Amino acid sequence: MNRNLHAPLLSGMHAGFAGRRRVLRLGAAAGTAMWLAGCAAMAPRARAQVVVVGAGWGGLGAVRQLARAELADITLIEPNDRFMSCPMSGHYVAGHGMMDELVHGYQRVDALPGVRRVRDRVRAIERERREVVLAGGSRLRYDYLVLSPGVEYMEETLPGYAAAREQLPVGFRAFEHPAVRAQVDRFLEQGGTFVISTPKPPYRCPPAPYERAMLIAEQVRKRGTRGRVLVLDANPAPTPAPTAQPILGALRGYADVLEYRPNVDLRAVDGARRVLVTGDGELRFDHANLVLPMRAHALIRQSGLGERWADVQLPNFQAKADERIFVIGDAQGSPQPKSGQVAFGQGRQVGEEIARRVRGEAAPTASSEIELPLGICWAAASHNTAINVNVVTTMLPGEAPKLRFSVDPQPSERSGSASWSWARGMWRTMLG
């Protein structure tokens, strides 16, 4: 069992790391207080207390950078006992038996200097007190808080969805993929119409719904399933715009088993009748993967850090409402793409920013163009081919960020194999 799991938390004070720093017991006798006052002048400077929420792509970037600086006690809060990757999950969802590749333990992260992982869920953030409240009831004090809790689905935008949730899993968060895989397995066995819907942006990993559609369509062909994949896109074409033609071209490669419909306005779903209500009337389906519109995790709104997405200032991802809080990854509302590579890079950058503040160094003054974390994304068009999407974000001081895309014109085996090298490299960097 992980040595960090269920470690006792100290309410209303900094949690202790044995041998690393002094633990002060509140409510100590007056004599002890005097002794402490006498020692204060000799005491080493206290290490900063940093709490990181979410051990996904963004949170792990922050933790690794902070651990490298060795200036802080880092508490990483995550409800899951393992990491599961969304990138590359499309292959598993479409029927390839590769769950082992996607799931990784946190052992190496736990061994990083100054890191303690707590298996729990943050229930609330009390900004005035600089404390997070865990579902288990404990409280953790912080000097700096890094939030990377990811996204939630806007179920209320599709009447009928909540009642059909079990039957229609979205599968755009870790550990939800097996439920989508079960739908796909049934479809590949029984045939019929498999609907995949795509919401309007911004949402996590824009190429992912098309990728899923193509990987499933490949299996329909391979297994001779008597069925078709129907992609219902809320957009006039795949987004962001530079990816539209390459993805449309790749979708056309499956024209015998896949139909793409743009500008579809999904208005309701009736899970019992297996009917979707669209702006153009009712549509029957046999199996479906409805990718709902998304927003930041509820903690962001509940803590007054933003509405749909967290309001952050660039280039440092500090919450506009609170200089002690940084929000990174898909929960933050900058124009950067919602991708794992970007989230990890933002985490590293924020880790360095916190280390700089702890060291008491002045903020660097940017007079020329700066680069925000790079985005690298992949849209698999088959089990062996992919379209590579790279995004460079630059900013001039005082101006809005500019995004420059470079996208493969069509899928290739080269990008297919590069996507695996990229993913394995990232998993090693994050978790190895």
Interface ranges with ligand FAD (CB under 6 A): 53-59, 77-80, 86-87, 89-90, 121-122, 148-150, 172-174, 204-205, 208, 297, 299, 329-331, 338-341, 343, 376-378
Cβ proximity to ligand FAD: between 86 and 431 the closer is 86
In whole angstroms, the minimum distance from the beta carbon of 300 to ligand FAD comes to 11
Write the CB contacts of 27 (distance below 8 Å, at least 6 apart in sequence): none
Cβ proximity to ligand FAD: between 176 and 286 the closer is 176
Q: Give the pair of three-digit tokens for residue 77.
A: 């809060």
Q: State the Cα–Cα distance between residues 294 and 355, nearest whole angstrom.
A: 32
Q: State the Cα–Cα distance between residues 231 and 210, nearest whole angstrom.
A: 8
Neighbouring CB atoms inside 10 A of 365's CB total 6
Cβ proximity to ligand FAD: between 174 and 358 the closer is 174
Cβ proximity to ligand FAD: between 258 and 387 the closer is 387
In whole angstroms, the minimum distance from the beta carbon of 398 to ligand FAD comes to 27
Cβ proximity to ligand FAD: between 9 and 174 the closer is 174
366 vs 281, 314, 348, 363, 402, CA distance in Å?
A: 54, 12, 19, 9, 16
Cβ proximity to ligand FAD: between 24 and 418 the closer is 418
In whole angstroms, the minimum distance from the beta carbon of 229 to ligand FAD comes to 16
In whole angstroms, the minimum distance from the beta carbon of 65 to ligand FAD comes to 14
Write the CB contacts of 108 (distance below 8 Å, at least 6 apart in sequence): 431, 432
Cβ proximity to ligand FAD: between 283 and 376 the closer is 376
Write the CB contacts of 136 (distance below 8 Å, at least 6 apart in sequence): 120
In whole angstroms, the minimum distance from the beta carbon of 58 to ligand FAD comes to 3
Please choose, from the candidates 285, 271, 180, the residue with its C-alpha nearest in 3D space to the C-alpha of residue 232: 285
In whole angstroms, the minimum distance from the beta carbon of 347 to ligand FAD comes to 7
Cβ proximity to ligand FAD: between 274 and 303 the closer is 303
In whole angstroms, the minimum distance from the beta carbon of 25 to ligand FAD comes to 28
Cβ proximity to ligand FAD: between 150 and 293 the closer is 150
In whole angstroms, the minimum distance from the beta carbon of 419 to ligand FAD comes to 7
In whole angstroms, the minimum distance from the beta carbon of 81 to ligand FAD comes to 10
Of all residues in the shown chain, the one whose CB is closest to ligand FAD is 56
Given a contact cutoff of 8 angstroms between Cβ atoms, the answer to whether 267 and 174 are in contact is no
In whole angstroms, the minimum distance from the beta carbon of 42 to ligand FAD comes to 37
Cβ proximity to ligand FAD: between 87 and 351 the closer is 87
Looking at this protein, which amino acid is placed at residue 330?
D
